[in-house]
Chain A
Amino acid sequence: MDYRICSLTGFKIHKTAEDLVKWNMVTAILFLTLGGFMGLLMALTRWPSVHYLDATHYYRFLTLHGFNALLLWILFFEIGLVYFTSAILLNTRVVAPFVGWIAYALMLVGAMFVNIVVFAGKADVLFTSYVPLKANGVYYLGIIIFAVGALTAFGHFFANIIQAKRDGAYKNTLPLGTFGLAAASIIGVFTLAHGAVIMIPVFFWSIDLIKYIDPGTYRLIFWALGHASQQINVCAMVAMWYMSAAFVLGANPVNEKLSRTAFVLYILFINIASEHHLLVDPIFSTWHKVVNTGYMMHLAVLASMIHAFAIPASMEVALRKKGYTKGLFDWLKNAPWGNPAFSATFLSIIGFGFLGGITGVIFGTEQFNIIRHNTFAITGHFHATVVSGTTVAFMGGTYLLIPYIFRREIILPRLAAFQPYLYAIGVAVMLIGMIAAGSYGVPRRHWDITFSSAIFPFSFDPSTDIFLSIMGVGGLLAVLGGVIFIIVSLGSIMFGRRTE
């Protein structure tokens, strides 16, 4: 068996595990580059005074932006974390390495199918592809192949931890980071099962083998895939928070019981809460919606509030142990703000909680949804969770893992230290602009909110113009931060000084 001992952490690292983490991470960063470029075009088009793309390309690239930035970047990175937590953290091996490579290949092939068919202009259906809006069959086929690949990789996680137990890699309990990815993998399996339940019939419908797909049913099951897959992200992101705190500060979770309970709350409740996308849809009764989004969602939100307390608390305890005990916030002042792995983690907690969490609970409340459904405020909300939350956390994770996995030093360290701030602040400004514009009714996914060629002339409150310009400026800052991230991360991977 091919192992090395990491000189920085002391972990015993299996060669295949390391290679799988490397390939999945680099692929993730490449798809982030594509998705981020599409994001730039989106910001430039919805910035009223720029209005860059024409309508056809706006909707086409919007489809690509969602697919690459939301699905591919995040899922490839998470699969990297699957191998990191199920083999490297446990000082053990990846069982049946070829399964890992098959999963990777399937995901890549599916991703290419979708990208190519959308670029070719055969699938301008946006990320949600609500039937009866129809794309070319290759689009659905690509999603199915990608999902099968991801499902294989999540399955691989369980094979790895079972084998690790047999090998005596752990005695009783998984480390919390692995536990978090176990929650992510469990949610991943039933999420992708929902994906299969809906995408396979839709594929047959797209090639005319099935006559009719009920649009209401599609929306329900699609969101069991679409929203629940965000909970994979939440679990992986929270696990990343815990791991970053441990690696950077040597922080112990203040209470393993509390943190593990919170992960279990995610598994039990968050998937069922995906009906908040359908609050102003026909079909479901009030009581159905109230139980589903009310009871279930709030318990999952409670879990997030527990993590968002437990992780900074663990950092605080670790820093207080180092002697920063004066007053309430001496520890915070003396935290390693110059370390991008730390600053990204902290910014991610703040962004996810304050911006994404608060808006998510409020917009997901049945009555408030009337005044927010499908407005730009929703776009603002999920950029807060997925970009200023997950993406920033994973950027920190990249900085953290490059020395351990790629055995390279980070190039341009001062730029790297500055990058999380630029990116997180840019994204925050952008999404606050979105939420403000959305609260005036500005719709999401809309090429021309001036309605310049529509039959009836309608224009929004003039202040929306300012909010959308704020969004544009924030978007540009974020893109700049993203470019720096890509240069630093890929540059370090290729040209960084070797650490051993």
Chain B
Amino acid sequence: MAEEKEKRKDKMEAPGTFALSIIFLVAFIIIWFAHLKWLIEVWGVK
């Protein structure tokens, strides 16, 4: 049982989904920084 647990710990069960998730995160970060660029272009406000 403990051995099986140990085995599960180091496994990549869903590498394809993991790759898709990385694509998602990269898209997220790019769009986020695009908004930062647009924000800096507007007038100062506080």
Contacts and interface: CB of A to CB of B under 8 A. Distances in A.
Q: In the complex, are there CB atoms of A and B closer than 8 Å?
A: yes
Interface of A: 254, 305, 308-309, 312-317, 328-329, 331-332, 353-354, 357-359, 361-362, 365, 367-368, 370-371, 439
B32 A362 contact: yes
Contacts of A309: 17-18, 21
Interface string B16-33: 111111001001100110
Contacts of A365: 35
B19 A358 contact: no
B13 A312 contact: no
A308 B14 contact: no
A331 B27 contact: no
Given A354-B27, A358-B27, A368 B39 contact: yes
A357 B31 CA distance: 12
Given A358-B27, A362-B32, A439 B20 contact: no
Contacts of B14: 254, 312-314, 316-317
B17 A316 contact: yes
8 contacts: A309-B17, A309-B21, A313-B17, A316-B13, A332-B16, A353-B24, A358-B28, A439-B38
Interface of B: 13-21, 24, 27-28, 31-32, 35-36, 38-39, 42, 45
Contacts of B42: 370-371
Contact of A328 (B19, B21, B28): B19
B15 A254 contact: no
Given A313-B17, A354-B27, A358-B28, 5 more contacts: A308-B24, A312-B17, A329-B16, A329-B19, A362-B35
Contact of A367 (B17, B20, B31, B39): B39
A313 B35 contact: no
Contacts of B36: 368
A420 to B, nearest CB: 19
B31 A362 contact: yes
Contacts of A357: 28
A353 B21 CA distance: 10
Contacts of B39: 367-368, 370-371
A357 B27 CA distance: 11
A254 B13 contact: yes
A361 B29 CA distance: 11
A316 B16 contact: yes
A386 to B, nearest CB: 20
A365 B28 CA distance: 13
Nearest to B38: A371
A360 to B, nearest CB: 11
B6 to A, nearest CB: 16
B27 to A, nearest CB: 7
A384 to B, nearest CB: 13
A254 B15 CA distance: 13
A332 B19 CA distance: 12
A268 to B, nearest CB: 23
Closest 9 CB pairs of A and B: A313-B14, A316-B14, A313-B17, A312-B17, A328-B16, A358-B28, A368-B35, A316-B17, A329-B16
Contact of B15 (A328, A368, A370): A328
Nearest to B46: A286
Residue among B13, B17, B45 having the largest count of chain A Cβ atoms under 10 Å: B17
A124 B20 CA distance: 44
A111 to B, nearest CB: 37
B31 A358 contact: yes
